[in-house]
Structure 1
Amino acid sequence: MLNSCEEISQIKLISECFVTPKNEVESSNQPHYLGPIDLALLSLDQMQKGLLFPSKPKNIKSHLLDKFKNSLSISLVHFYPLAGRLATQKFHDEHAIWVYVDGSKGPGARLIHASVDDLLCYDLISSNDVHPIVRSFFDLGEKAVNHDGHTRPLLSIQVTELLDGVFIGFTMNHSIADGTSLWHFISTLSQIFLQLDDNYDGPKENAIMSISHRPIFEPFFPVGFGPILKLPFLEPNEFITPNIDIGPLREKIFDFSSTSISKIKIMANQECGLGHHTISSFQALCAFLWISVTRARNLEPDQETTFGVAINFRPKINPPLTGDYFGGFIKRAHGTCNVGELLGKGLGWAATIIHELIIGLDDKAIRAFLNRLIEAPFVVQPNMTSVYYQPNSLLIGGSTKFDMYGPEFGLGKAVAVLAGYGNKEDGKVTANPGREGGGSVDLEVCLRPETMNALVLNEEFMSFVSYI
């Protein structure tokens, strides 16, 4: 494998620029408020997701990049906070700060054009583990935490040329958006791209184009709170942890076909005894993975293991919110048990725990959590993300419901969704829809090397995997 220096040396920067909204946006002159979940993520990594396309135009500048730049400029009219920067107001007498987005601050969103020699799409797809060069397809491999949005772009897009294709990597600050909002933006950008003529640089009045869903900028606060939420700090070193070395990890993508998932679901429902189809396909798959990874870790029966899943709570609050609400609307549900119980009681028992965790995160639980967070604000630290305070964890992020293969940018359907370095740790799993559709799922799994070695040698686990 390449080391980090070799990875970056392979990437050639061709050009970069900053893009602002095509039209003046009156709302950008007002503060964009951050919700309590947004503020809690200031010390964590940004989101990084990218699409691999197995084709590229002969003249990539005129047929892709110029049009992409125009599309981005128009998209930022709708998603105007992404062109701004974070800003902080201090309240010295309270030893507190207020962090918000200043839409008039900074040069705009970053657009990078890069290339890599001697690399084919097949090299990325066929790599045994996630290819180490992928992390350099996002912001040229530069690392940052969300708080760095004070001086760095809140949105950065890198278009990297391969020998036979293009990788488009999106880096978005996680303190202003979650995965739902990230893919809302990417889908909108693609919609606008496909409506533009190749040489479009039209007048401002033509810049607003048809999009299917407009973002709504209303952070969610319980009644009586917001929109300003102060944090009990004054200086960044009180709540921001620099990037830490998390140690060696292996990252692999396991594909589960709809047929395999259906078999796992049937097994879980037969074992749990709660009734036919009580356990969903996703819950059953999560339980299967939790058991498999725990077994691969070779833990003692009396040790504890924790399962966590990041849940979009927009549809769970009353009244529910649509996915058009832009920001951080995620809450982690988690449960802990002994290793001996998990491995001894089986798939149905584990799936029941996960089922109860997910349905238990209802309107009452979400509002209670947000009230606690507002009454005693805190910022999650990187060393807290491992199980969120527990060892031997499995934490599921992402979503199988995102339309990841819909955005095409005139390049056809992507052949892979890949992620950068952001938010990777032992036991972190990202769930993506499988490219073939039909209910298939790709799980990007990060584990210690010895655990991953044991997992791929587990015949039962691998018998349900279509390919890796």
Structure 2
Amino acid sequence: MKKVYPIIHSMSMLTYKCKECLHWSIKRREQLVIVALLSMSYTSVKRISECLIKPLHDLSPEAKQPLHLTPLELFALNVNYSQKGLLFPKPPPSENQDFSITAYLDDLRYSLSATLDHFYLLASRLATKIEENPPSYVIYLDCKNSPGVKFIYATVDATISDILQPGDVPVVVRSFFDLNNAISYDGHTLPLLSIQVTELVDGIFIGGSINHVLADAASFWHFMGAWSEIFKSKEKSFVSISRPPVLKRWVLPGYDPVISLPYTHHDQFIERFEGPPLVERFFHFSSASVSKLKAKANSECNTNKISSLQAVIALLWRCITRARRLSDDDETSSSLMVGNRRRMTPPLSNDYFGNPVGMVGGTATVRELMTNGLGWAAFRLYEAVINYNDTIVKENIESWIKKPFIFKRSQMINKNIILVLSSPRLDMYGCEFGLGKALAVRSGWMNKDDGTINLYPGREGGGSMDVEVCFTSSQTMMNLDSDEEFMDALKIE
């Protein structure tokens, strides 16, 4: 019988301490929350085992060919790995047999291996080819070099209620993810995807760290959905999936798919940026709240064009700006990552697996933002999104090809900006892995700075949203938590 995954590389009980720095306002539920935080202060995640998972079947000669990265992917070589995961309850003991974590992990490994038959590029590594005459520096995906996806099993002496406690996200959640501090360029030597399964006292967290040149949020959740689908199928051979990924790279018409960067050594463009300590908190917007915000924004502008997403982001822009206590003449910006798949002509498939994203946003003075209302802010975001079209996307890519450069996170430091990532439109809760619907989505600490916002669908669906907000200052979080406009929006049920 063919061996699906290699033997465990290490059985050492690696321990990662998570000592919390308590930033907390003495507000409602303060005593209960402080007790919960203190109980988590010295909780440690113990890594029990790890291995590399390869595709279940050997790759075809075609699948082993080099895959050249697009401008939008090369642009992200300094971006950290994306880290997202799902928290599940353990199954209740049945009358016949208790839940076996050993059997469950075996099923996860096997189904992951079968999923990599479809997403085989995730098992490979990046490579660089340098030529002197003529000068050439090409970074590509070496699918022939396919060591596999990393799979980690870890444990933590914590409960679901510890993780989902009111208030700031416990720091221990950061240890539910692997490859902290890795940047996408590190995919030359590190796995392009690492899965960590952390067993809690009463729950299981499945977290993924994925190289950002390979996948945006849509591609990551596409992969997770396919893995969950195969897990549930219990098939033991090649398994078809409902949404096979489109792995062929998109190339700007008239241009060579092989892009040579203007460098001779990676030290000329690599930046390892370590973000500041952050306070992170989740806020829930019910479907009724989102609907009311959308109606209010459209009514103020006498239009019906503003989306629910634009209305919620406009509210966050206004309330976070107020919480930061900026002066009236300061300039503030709201930037959001948007997908290019359906904006291009002809459009890319929704199943295109890659990182085809761009950034749009609005800018205003604090005075303008505060005096003109929710609709005014939302309409500025609407205009930014609607004007970002096929022409703009292709002009930006063509401009980059003519003068390539690698993005550096330090260039984005701006105390007056909010940066919106992820999307509540992605099917995160459809990824069940035999455990039913997840209780919550959580993220790692990579790619976050002051004012970073991650948007997720609400667990109950219906257009509800969960918003993860990050600040460097606990005082700013306190200010947001007491902002009248923000709190009024959250109270709507």
Shorter-chain TM-score above 0.5: yes
Partner of 1:331: 358
What SS class does the counterpart of residue 232 from structure 2 fall into? helix
Partner of 2:165: 126
Question: Hey, what's the Cα distance between the residues in 1 that align with 2:105 and 2:326?
Answer: 51
Matches within 5 A, 1:71-90: 71-90=111-130
Which residue among 355, 362, 370 is the counterpart of 2:389?
A: 362
User: 1:79, CA displacement in angstroms?
Assistant: 0.4
Comparing 7-16 with 339-348, greater Cα deviation is found at: 7-16
Which residue among 49, 58, 66 is the counterpart of 1:24?
A: 58
User: 1:402, CA displacement in angstroms?
Assistant: 0.6
User: 1:324, CA displacement in angstroms?
Assistant: 0.7
Matches within 5 A, 1:57-456: 58-62=99-103, 64-93=104-133, 96-117=136-157, 119-139=158-178, 142-196=180-234, 202=236, 206=237, 208-244=238-274, 246-273=275-302, 275=303, 277-386=304-413, 390-449=414-473, 450-456=475-481
- TM-score scaled to structure 2, two decimals? 0.88
Q: Which amino acid aligns with 2:69?
A: L
Q: Which amino acid aligns with 2:173?
A: V
Question: Given that residues 66 and 144 in structure 2 are in contact (C-alpha distance below 8 angstroms), is that contact kept between their aligned partners in structure 1?
Answer: no
User: 1:230, CA displacement in angstroms?
Assistant: 1.5
Q: Which amino acid aligns with 1:70?
A: Y
Partner of 1:47: 82
Question: Hey, what's the Cα distance between the residues in 2 that align with 1:424 and 1:142?
Answer: 12
Q: Which runs of 5+ in 1 are unaligned?
A: none
Where does structure 1 differ by over 4 angstroms across 4 or more consecutive aligned residues? 6-9, 93-96
Q: Which amino acid aligns with 2:185?
A: H
Seen in structure 2, the aligned counterparts of structure 1 residues 7 and 235 have a Cα distance that, compared at 3 Å, is farther
User: 1:8, CA displacement in angstroms?
Assistant: 9.0
Question: Given that residues 8 and 136 in structure 1 are in contact (C-alpha distance below 8 angstroms), is that contact kept between their aligned partners in structure 2?
Answer: no
How many residues end up aligned between the 2 structures?
Answer: 449
Question: Hey, what's the Cα distance between the residues in 1 that align with 2:201 and 2:145?
Answer: 37
In the TM superposition, what whole-angstrom CA distance separates every residue of 1:212-250 from its partner, at most 9, and x where no partner exists? 011111222321113111111121211111242x32321
Q: Which amino acid aligns with 1:231?
A: L
What SS class does the counterpart of residue 465 from structure 1 fall into? helix
Seen in structure 2, the aligned counterparts of structure 1 residues 148 and 345 have a Cα distance that, compared at 3 Å, is same
Identical-residue share of aligned pairs (%): 42
Question: Given that residues 280 and 471 in structure 2 are in contact (C-alpha distance below 8 angstroms), is that contact kept between their aligned partners in structure 1?
Answer: yes
Question: Hey, what's the Cα distance between the residues in 2 that align with 1:131 and 1:35?
Answer: 37
User: 1:131, CA displacement in angstroms?
Assistant: 1.4
Question: Hey, what's the Cα distance between the residues in 1 that align with 2:63 and 2:45?
Answer: 34
Question: Hey, what's the Cα distance between the residues in 2 that align with 1:320 and 1:418?
Answer: 31
Question: Hey, what's the Cα distance between the residues in 1 that align with 2:388 and 2:375?
Answer: 20
Q: CA RMSD in A?
A: 1.8
Q: Which runs of 5+ in 2 are unaligned?
A: 1-17, 22-39, 92-97
Question: Given that residues 221 and 370 in structure 1 are in contact (C-alpha distance below 8 angstroms), is that contact kept between their aligned partners in structure 2?
Answer: no
Question: Given that residues 268 and 347 in structure 1 are in contact (C-alpha distance below 8 angstroms), is that contact kept between their aligned partners in structure 2?
Answer: yes
Question: Hey, what's the Cα distance between the residues in 2 that align with 1:66 and 1:216?
Answer: 28
User: 1:330, CA displacement in angstroms?
Assistant: 0.5
Comparing 345-354 with 377-386, greater Cα deviation is found at: 377-386
Partner of 2:490: 465
Question: Hey, what's the Cα distance between the residues in 2 that align with 1:71 and 1:431?
Answer: 28
Partner of 2:8: none
Seen in structure 2, the aligned counterparts of structure 1 residues 143 and 227 have a Cα distance that, compared at 3 Å, is same
Partner of 2:4: none
Question: Given that residues 115 and 162 in structure 1 are in contact (C-alpha distance below 8 angstroms), is that contact kept between their aligned partners in structure 2?
Answer: yes
Question: Hey, what's the Cα distance between the residues in 1 that align with 2:215 and 2:420?
Answer: 18
Q: Which amino acid aligns with 1:89?
A: K
User: 1:106, CA displacement in angstroms?
Assistant: 4.8
Question: Given that residues 272 and 351 in structure 1 are in contact (C-alpha distance below 8 angstroms), is that contact kept between their aligned partners in structure 2?
Answer: no
Q: Which amino acid aligns with 2:478?
A: N
Seen in structure 2, the aligned counterparts of structure 1 residues 226 and 179 have a Cα distance that, compared at 3 Å, is farther
Q: Which amino acid aligns with 2:99?
A: K
Question: Given that residues 7 and 136 in structure 1 are in contact (C-alpha distance below 8 angstroms), is that contact kept between their aligned partners in structure 2?
Answer: no
Partner of 2:32: none
What SS class does the counterpart of residue 225 from structure 1 fall into? coil
Partner of 1:36: 71
User: 1:265, CA displacement in angstroms?
Assistant: 1.1
Question: Given that residues 43 and 156 in structure 2 are in contact (C-alpha distance below 8 angstroms), is that contact kept between their aligned partners in structure 1?
Answer: no
Seen in structure 2, the aligned counterparts of structure 1 residues 94 and 309 have a Cα distance that, compared at 3 Å, is farther
